[in-house]
Structure 1
Amino acid sequence: MAGRWIETWEPEDETFWREKGERVARRNLWFSVLSEHIGFSIWTLWSVMVLFMGPEYGIDPAGKFFLISTATLVGALVRVPYTFAVARFGGRNWTVFSAVSLLVPTLAAFWVMEPGTSYATFVAVAALTGIGGGNFASSMTNINAFFPLRRKGWALGLNAGGGNIGVPVVQLVGLLVIGTLGASHPRIVLGVYIPLIVLAAACAALYMDNLRPVKNDTGAAQEAVRDPHTWIMSVLYIGTFGSFIGYSFAFGLVLQTQFGRTPLQAASLTFVGPLLGSLIRPVGGRLADRYGGARITLATFAAMAAATGVVIQASGNASLPVFLTGFTALFVLTGLGNGSTYKMIPGIFHAKALARGLDAEAAAAHGRRLSGAAMGLIGAVGALGGLAINLAFRQSFQATGTGTAAFWSFLAFYGVCFTLTWVVYLRRPAPVATRAQLGYAEV
């Protein structure tokens, strides 16, 4: 693709930002959101398809959990190459390609989605949908380059939140089909998305831009891998985004398996949590801009632990209303945490650059350089948290017939995340050379 290339981009220059940069950045943001939104819908497609798979498909709950785990795994793995593709091919060009590529898993699912198809075929097609998970990494890396540090929390939160909404939207489409036509017409869901994929690709081609200054930096990638903060933030992102995507995939199956809900009943309940979690993600970014990402993240993990305790109690007592209340609260909190943790990433590397004595402009450039490299890795590891959640549910249901044991493991992990956030980013600020520099408490 020839593409449309912007040769100079200086978002930290307030004059440039006011006269030209903000308008261009916002335009790219909106169409990035559209493409990422469709990508999330395709990635989580099998959280809906399994609701259509009745006894005639011959697949037990453990087999269904493995299907959605396969999609989660592939989506996590492809995030790393998708991150570096933006600099290699251009943000606009890669968005077009990654959108068009979503036709492959969608058409494949349309072809095979019927009783009698082998389980191995379903696993292969579910794996293909994982490429939708890669769209997040390339989109976030691209948008990170467009916005100045002071706007990153809002921009990244809005970009990710708009993408995350693809999860409840595909579930709502599934609910509409099941509620009107029954659970024997999964191909209608797939048919809805084929023209939407084409629309997303066309809009990216017409309205997005490539940034020439954004280049793959092998040194930055190696430095990010060696930096302990990359791995600490990966763990925190497992707790926030890993929880969000893992719960989004598994929620409907949990309701069917543990609480005996019908496909229609499960579909009518599954979309609410992901929708609220997606809508509130920009709020998490905005709060992080104002109060510091570390503070918001710490409070989020404390609240997630409390909500998990409610879910454990409800699971043990088989109380569906309380279970739904606790689970919905978890979705909302993961959304807040997603926004605050992603705000922390560029802030951490910016703070480290200031602590090394770099001036404001050099520190901003260093922060963009390392945070862009780190985001793909952090996003990939975070998405693997979704795989861990689905596998934990699979094991819990196989061993005990309920998800209670899995929730206990999630509670313990949120305790680890709370402790990490406090010890590393809030117990004491990073050394700074001047009062103008950021401590980690403000990242």
Structure 2
Amino acid sequence: MATFGFFAGLTTIVFYGAAGPIFEEHLALTGVFHGLLLGSPHLSKAVLRIPFGAWVDEAGGKKPMLILLASTIVGIAGLVVTLFLTYPDDFGMHLYPLLVLFGLLAGAGGATFSVGISQTSYWYPSDKQGFAMGAFAGAGNIGPGLVVYVLPVLIGLTGLAMAYGIWLAFVVAVTIIYAIYAVDPYYFQLLRQGNDQEEAKETADELGQDIFPSGNTWESLRESASIRRTWVLVFLYTVSFGGGFTSLSAWFPTYWDLFHGFDLSTAGLLAGIFIVYGSLIRIPGGSISDRFGGENVAIASFSVMAVGAVIMTFAVGFWAAFVGMMVLGTGMGVANAAVFELVPKFVPEAVGGASGWISGIGGGGTLIILPALGYYTDIFGQIGYARGFSLFIVLSAICAAVSWGLKRYKPDVDADVDETPVH
């Protein structure tokens, strides 16, 4: 259920990106303003992931997830009503602030990641964290890939407003199903049944749960923020997924449409391939991280990212660009699985708080990367769609070096963990 709720909520990271060329055409946006519109859901996603991820340590996952999905429904519904009333005759730049507001509301769905990752982490034993995180994130992240392919098809069949209306109906249905069937981990169930914390922890431990929250929401945030390892993981997540993969998920429909000249449906299909592949590869990436260690896998995968970025930077033909996109997606997906395999290992004292900081601040990277990609097109023109990937060459190389440093730092981590026993 955590994966199912996340699957629906995360679709809004391509809230405008799935139909990006249509919005750019009708609103007459510059590259930077187009990037800001695409990034509006990512702002609320980034801000809300921090407190909601930590809130799981106090409330469990179900209540925070439902609140975020409810906000998402309001945002999508607002856009649907606006489109029915204004599109296409009165749909123009005067609506830009309202569209940004709807993007911010819908973007709350992206914050379901930090809720679901914590909820899932508490359900699984320590030696299965890589698999659990990879399966949750991998399957959950397919949602945006399906949307960027299906939405253009629906637009062609039913029109823009009705296509978004179908999206709205889907999110409402998932929210209802989640509300009925989602179950919090044992520890939180026992607390609600009247057990004190020690009794709840002891019983949950007997039932198989071996990772527990350190305290309430703010204690979890404070404690995880005081640990330097949290901020190293924040940076790695920003580049691998929160700012990297999600930015490209929203950017690729425009890239394939305006740089390579494909129609919106084909551009959406190509972007969807990137998203689905980069998401699914996180599942084996998590198992590989369990086996070989998240630090080693992070070094290798960030290096693969750099190679993919080099190809994309200089590719002007379709096949070279497609290969570069898939190499880049491979590195990003596996790197992200490696990063979250390290969260309960390096920050066992406050998994929820750490997940909030990592996915929240890391997710905010889109607010820099998307406008930066748009700025490349404003400065360099058409070729800027390719040259913008040079940004990922630099960032990937830095992350590979940081991951190597994290591996060297591991003895201090082990010492910290010894001083803070975890059930």
TM-aligned CA distance change 1:249 to 1:227, over 3 Å? same
- Cα distance change on mapping 1:145 and 1:409 into 2, 3 Å: same
Taking a change above 3 Å as real, the CA distance of residues 332 and 187 of structure 1, as seen in their structure-2 partners, is farther
| Structure 1 segment 291-306 matched on structure 2, within 5 A | 291-306=292-307
Aligned residue number for residue 383 of structure 1: 363
Q: For residue 46 of structure 1, what is the aligned residue in structure 2?
A: 16
* 1:127 counterpart = 2:104: yes
Once the two structures are TM-superposed, the CA of residue 178 in structure 1 deviates from its matched residue by 4.3
Partner of 1:392: 372
**Which residue is 1:346 aligned to?**
344
Give the whole-Å Cα distance in 2 for the aligned partners of 1:95 and 1:217. Answer: 15
In 2: Cα distance, 1:73 partner to 1:97 partner: 17
| Alignment RMSD | 2.3
Separation (CA, whole Å) in 2 of partners of 1:57 and 1:97: 31
**Residue matched to 2:282:** 281
Kindly indicate whether residue 353 of structure 2 is the aligned counterpart of residue 373 of structure 1. Answer: yes
Match of 1:319 among 317, 336, 345: 317
Structure 1 CA distance for aligned equivalents of residues 394 and 301 of structure 2:
15
Q: 2:179 aligns with which of 171, 182, 205?
A: 205
2:422 aligned with 1:422, yes or no? no
Alpha-carbon distance in 2 for matches of 1:432, 1:249: 39
How far apart are residue 427 of structure 1 and its match? Answer: 7.5
Contact 2:21/2:254 (CA < 8 Å) preserved in 1? Answer: yes
Q: How far off its partner does 1:294 sit?
A: 0.7
Q: Partner letter of residue 240 of structure 1? A: S
Structure 1 pair 389–206 and aligned structure 2 pair: CA distance change class (3 A): same
What SS does structure 1 have at the residue aligned with 2:16?
Answer: helix
Identify unmatched segments of 5+ residues in structure 1: 1-30, 350-366, 438-443
Question: For structure 2, which runs of at least 5 residues remain unmatched after alignment?
Answer: 192-196, 198-212, 419-423
* 1:224 alignment counterpart: 224
Task: Tell me which residue corresponds to 1:355.
Answer: none
> Residues 153 and 288 of structure 1 are in contact (CA less than 8 Å); yes or no, is this contact kept in structure 2?
yes
For each residue in 1:24-49, what CA deviation from the matched residue of structure 2 results, as whole angstroms up to 9, or x when unmatched? xxxxxxx1111100001123221113
Distance change (3 Å), C-alpha of 1:180 and 1:269: farther
Say whether residues 1:328 and 2:320 are aligned partners. no
Asked if structure 1 preserves the Cα contact closer than 8 Å seen for 2:49 and 2:357, the reply is yes
Partners of 2:285 and 2:97 lie apart in 1 by 40
Q: CA deviation at 1:378?
A: 0.7
CA shift for structure 1 position 69 = 1.6
Stretch moving more, 253-262 or 213-222: 213-222
Please state how far the C-alpha of 1:347 moved relative to its aligned partner.
Answer: 1.1
Map Cα deviations across residues 283-317 of structure 1 (whole Å, 9 max, x no partner). Answer: 11111111111111110011111111111121xxx
Task: Quote how far apart the aligned CAs of 1:271 are.
Answer: 0.7
* CA–CA distance in structure 1, aligned partners of residues 4 and 160 of structure 2: 23
Deviation of residue 179 (structure 1)?
Answer: 5.2
Quick one: distance in 2 between partners of 1:232 and 1:63? 31
Which residue does 1:175 correspond to in 2? Answer: 152
Runs of 4+ in 1 over 6 A off after TM superposition: none
Task: Check 1:57–1:151 CA distance in 2 against 1; reply closer, same or farther (3 A cut).
Answer: same
TM-aligned CA deviation for residue 111 of structure 1: 1.4
The superposition leaves residues 225-264 of structure 1 with CA deviations (integer Å, 9 ceiling, x where unpaired) of: 1211111111111121121101101111122332333323
Is 1:98 matched up with 2:78?
A: no
Tell me if the contact between 1:145 and 1:372 (Cα under 8 Å) persists in the aligned partners: no
Q: Which amino acid aligns with 1:247?
A: L
Paired AA for residue 127 in structure 1: L
How far apart, CA to CA, are the structure 2 residues paired with 1:432 and 1:319? Answer: 48
Which position in structure 2 is the counterpart of 1:15? Answer: none
Matched residue SS, 1:259: coil
State percent identity of aligned pairs.
23
**What is residue 147 of structure 1 aligned with on the other side?**
124
Equivalence for 2:201: none
Residue in 1 aligned with 2:250?
249
Distance 1:133 1:237 in 2: 15
Give the structure-2-normalised TM-score.
Answer: 0.84
Would you say 1:109 and 2:79 are equivalent positions? Answer: yes
Distance in 2, Cα, partners of 1:103 & 1:217:
25
Q: Deviations over 1:324-372 (max 9, x none)?
A: 21012212221111111100111123xxxxxxxxxxxxxxxxx2x3222
**Counterpart contact for 1:39–1:163, Cα < 8 Å:** no
Structure-2 separation of matches of 1:68 and 1:52: 12
Q: Give matches, 1:176-195, under 5 Å.
A: 176-178=153-155, 180=157, 185-195=159-169
Determine the structure 2 residue equivalent to 1:412. 394
Say if 1:300 and 1:336, in contact at 8 Å, map to a contact too. Answer: yes
| TM-score of the aligned structures, taking structure 1 as reference length | 0.80
Report the equivalent of 1:19. none
Query: Once the two structures are superposed, what CA deviation does each residue of 1:69-119 show, in whole Å capped at 9, x if it has no partner?
Result: 222222111111211332444322222332233210111111123232322
Q: Which amino acid counterpart does residue 82 of structure 1 have in structure 2?
A: F
Which has the larger displacement, 323-332 or 117-126? 117-126
Alignment CA distance shift 1:431-1:289 (3 Å): closer
| Distance verdict in 2 for CA 1:204–1:414, change over 3 Å | same
* Alpha-carbon distance in 1 for matches of 2:107, 2:233: 23
- 2:86 matches 1:86: no
**Deviation by residue 1:387-418 (Cα, 9 ceiling, x = unmatched):** 22202101111111113442222211111101
Contact 2:69 2:108 in 1 (8 A): no
**TM-superposition CA deviations, 1:153-193 (whole Å, max 9, x none):** 11111111122111101112213224546xxx122322222
- Residue of structure 2 in register with 1:33 after alignment: 3
